[in-house]
Amino acid sequence: MHAIKCGLVGATALAIMSFGQARTCFAQASSAQASSAQETSEESAVEKDQEIRELRDQLDALQRRLDAQIEALDQLKSELEAAKAQAAAAQAQAATIPAQVKRAVAATKPQGEGLHYKGVTISFGGFLAAEYVRRSIDTANDIATAYNGDYFGNDPLAHNSQSLFSARQSSLSALVAGDPGPQTHIRAFGQIDFQGAAQTANSVEDYSYNPRLMQLYGAVDWDELHLHLLAGQAWSLVTLNASGITPETVVIPPTIDGQYMPGFDWARQPQVRLTQDIDRQFWLALSLENPQTTFYTGANPLPAGVDVTYETHGTGLGYNSENTLSLDHVPDAVLKLADDVTFGKWTVHAEGFGLYRRFYEQLNYASKNVSGEAAGGALMIPVVPRRLDLQLSAVDGRGIGRYGSAQLPDVTFDPNGNIKPIRELIALAGVTVHPQHNLDVYVFAGEERASRQQFNYTDTSGATPSIVPYGYGNLLYSNAGCAGQGEQAPCVGNLRRVEQGTVGLWYEPYRGDFGAVRWGLQFSHTEFDAFTGVGGAPVATLNMVFTSFRYYPFGE
């Protein structure tokens, strides 16, 4: 038992000792672990501080880069604003000098036909003509026929034919064109021929001074505004256009005769014209044109006590003393509308116009004004496109003789000296056939017809009162001497009607790098009918054959 106790005590003591040793060992181990943890913690803190410093260094570097980028962006923005300002200034400067900009751009482009100088293109035109005319009556004219002459049998020249060669219809023209801006176009055009006649040249229908100035005008087109301005000498607005209302599209009969033919209403004279187009289909134009008046004073002098001044002679300053000028003081005004209507393959050009005129005189030392007016219209119809064209035109009104090729008088006078406009109809119809690309065949008919404007005055100054006829086409005018040569009776022979039928062709045997050559042939038959008077109504007939050889060195 004692042994058991001793054993237990020993075991207990041993256990206590072991526990103490174990506690000591655990304490020592815990102390070592704590020491190791402290060392680890200190090392971790150092590492974290190092990481923080590195992150801060990276953050500082990123901030510096961001600041640098912001500074670069600010600088780029400043440069961009400066570039915009410079571009705006350049654009503003370019707007003020479009011609210089246009020339700089044009210099980089390939050059075509014509001469190019400082942004404009100069193109030449015209032809050299060798022409011949044979007339059954000697009209004492060159290549242009006077259709208002006295060709009745009492005139010796009416019994003589005429043959002549002429080169005077040869023409030279030049067009100068440029574009100051993309929507603005300017051009100047000039054309002359050699049909002027010194001393007796006049300004009535075509300025016939030497050399004859046919056209000389400047024009501006504004595309955005659809406006067109013309100033200078050009075809009158009463002249037919093929399309729109521009001076380049004027249509004239294809005749060789330099006066064209009766029934054609036209003039070439100084004017100012403004045109508005709507989509280049509908056109409206107003023209103020140089006024001139043709007078028929009557077969008898005005009664005593009537003093009339209606024209003056040139003084040598631009007009020869043989030139006569009417006393007009208001421009002729023409208002014209045109429409180009398309029907499938056909585009029909239709136009209408109104003409207003003002005639002026000094009657018994007082100013007198009388108005004249007219209305006209025309059609251009491609009956068979590119093969057959039909044109029709007519104008009717008072005081319009100067606008017709026959040049019948505008006005006459009553016994009191008052201006009296003469009513007239001017009409033309023609067909042009194109059987092949280099051949044109045409048939035209035209007429100008005047109405009577007659007045009678009872003269009581003699022992027996007598009736004195005045005006134009008076039934009491004597036509008794119009029948033949040697007649002693008078022949007043006021023209009532001038009518012509003409047929002709143009053939073009060559067109190429050296220009073009055309040959033409024309035959016309013209009748002159006078008003009925004492002794009847005389009639005259004129037949003419024309040939023309023309060379167009610049093409056509």
Query: Where residue 80 falls among pLDDT bands split at 50, 70, 90?
Result: confident
For residue range 318-334, what is the model confidence (pLDDT) as tens digits? 777 777 889 999 999 99
Q: Is the pLDDT of residue 248 over 80?
A: yes
pLDDT surpassing 80 at residue 89: no
User: Residue 296 is encoded by which pair of tokens?
Assistant: 């028929």
Q: Are β-strands 295-296 and 411-413 bridged in parallel, bridged antiparallel, or unpaired?
A: parallel
| Least-confidence region, from 155-159, 249-253, 406-410 | 155-159
Answer yes or no: is 10 within a domain.
Answer: no
Show the 3-state SS of 10-63: HHHHHHHHHHHHHHHHHHHHHHHHHHHHHHHHHHHHHHHHHHHHHHHHHHHHHH
User: What average pLDDT score do residues 146-150 get?
Assistant: 92
Residues above pLDDT 90, as percent of the chain: 69
Res. 33: pLDDT tops 80: no
- Residue 66 belongs to a domain: no
Nearest-5° angle of CA 444, CA 447, CA 449? 175
* Beta strand residue intervals within 329-421, DSSP E: 332-343, 346-363, 366-384, 388-398, 411-413, 419-421
CATH (domain of 265):
2.40.160.10
What mean pLDDT value characterizes the chain?
87
Type and span of the H or E element at 228: strand 227-235
Amino acid letter at 327? L
Residue 317, domain member (yes or no): yes
Distance between CA 322 and CA 202 in Å, rounded?
9
Alpha-carbon distance of 192 to 169, in angstroms, equals 9
Distance, in Å, from the CA atom of 274 to the CA atom of 306, rounded to the nearest integer, reads 42
**Residue 250 pLDDT > 70:** yes
Answer yes or no: is pLDDT of 483 > 90: no
Q: What total of structural domains would you count in the chain?
A: 1
Q: Region 259-269: what's the mean pLDDT?
A: 97
d(CA 493, CA 152): 8
Q: Is 459:468 a contact under the CB 8 Å cutoff?
A: yes
CB distance 245 to 251 below 8 Å? no
Which of 11-25, 219-233, 265-279, 364-378 has the lowest average pLDDT? 11-25
Whole-angstrom distance, CA of residue 482 vs CA of residue 537: 9
Residue 88 pLDDT exceeds 70? no
Per-residue pLDDT at 369 exceeds 60: yes
- Has residue 486 got a pLDDT over 80? no
Task: Quickly list DSSP for 110-136.
Answer: PP-SSEEETTEEEEEEEEEEEEEEEES
Q: How confident is the model at residue 4 (pLDDT cuts 50, 70, 90)?
A: very low
- Each residue of 514-528: pLDDT tens digit? 999 999 999 999 999
Q: Rounded distance, CA 187 to CA 128, Å?
A: 24
Q: Does any domain span residue 56?
A: no
Q: Dig out the tokens for 463 from the structure.
A: 């022992």
**What span, in angstroms and rounded, lies between the C-alpha atoms of 105 and 101?**
6
Higher pLDDT, 114 or 423: 423
**What b/e sequence results for 158-187 when a residue is b if at least 16 CB atoms lie within 10 Å of its CB, and e otherwise?**
beeeeeeebebbbbbbbbbebbbeeeebbb
Least confident of 128-137, 193-202, 243-252, 529-538: 193-202
Of the candidates 174, 188, 176, 180, which has an alpha carbon nearest to the alpha carbon of residue 218? Answer: 188
pLDDT at residue 108 above 80? no
Q: Are strands 495-512 and 515-530 parallel, antiparallel or unpaired?
A: antiparallel
Q: Which two tokens stand for residue 292?
A: 């001139």
Give the list of residues 6+ apart from residue 437 with CB closer than 8 angstroms, or none: none
Structure tokens, 12: 């207990």
What average pLDDT does this structure show over 115-134? Answer: 95
Q: Which residue has the higher pLDDT, 531 or 26?
A: 531
Domain around 322: 127-552
What average pLDDT score do residues 19-30 get?
41
Over residues 47-67, the mean pLDDT reads 78
Report, as an integer, the average pLDDT of 104-130: 75
Pairing of strands 212-222, 120-135: unpaired
Q: Does residue 242 sit within a domain?
A: yes
CA distances from 163 to 133, 138, 156, 258, 453 (A): 6, 8, 16, 16, 37
Q: What is the mean pLDDT of residues 54-68?
A: 79
Q: What are 163's strand-pairing partners?
A: 134
pLDDT given at position 519: 98
Q: Which pLDDT does position 39 carry in this prediction?
A: 52
pTM of the model: 0.79
Helices 2-96/98-107 angle, 10° precision: 100
Residue 366 lies in a domain: yes
Q: What mean pLDDT comes out for the span 274-303?
A: 96
Taking the alpha carbons at both ends of the chain, their separation in whole angstroms is 158
Question: What pLDDT, on the 0 to 100 scale, is given for residue 145?
Answer: 97
* Stretch 61-76: mean pLDDT: 79
**pLDDT number for residue 204:** 86
Give me the torsion for CA of 195, 196, 201, 202, rounded to 10°: 70
pLDDT beyond 60 at 367: yes
What angle is formed at CA 156 by the lines to CA 145 and CA 302, rounded to 5 degrees? 80
Sign of the Cα pseudo-torsion (479, 484, 485, 486, in order): negative
pLDDT digits (tens, 9 = 90+) for 184-197: 999 999 999 999 88
302 found inside a domain: yes
Among residues 314, 255, 332, the alpha carbon closest in space to that of 503 is found at 255
Range with the largest mean pLDDT of 150-164, 194-208, 261-275: 261-275
The number of CA neighbours under 13 Å toward the Cβ of 148 is: 18
Q: What is the 3-state secondary structure (H, E, C) of 164-209?
A: EEECCCCEEEEEEEEEEECCEEEEEEEEEECCCCCCCCCCCCECCC
Domain assignment present for residue 277? The answer is: yes
Q: Are 494 and 477 in contact (CB under 8 A)?
A: yes
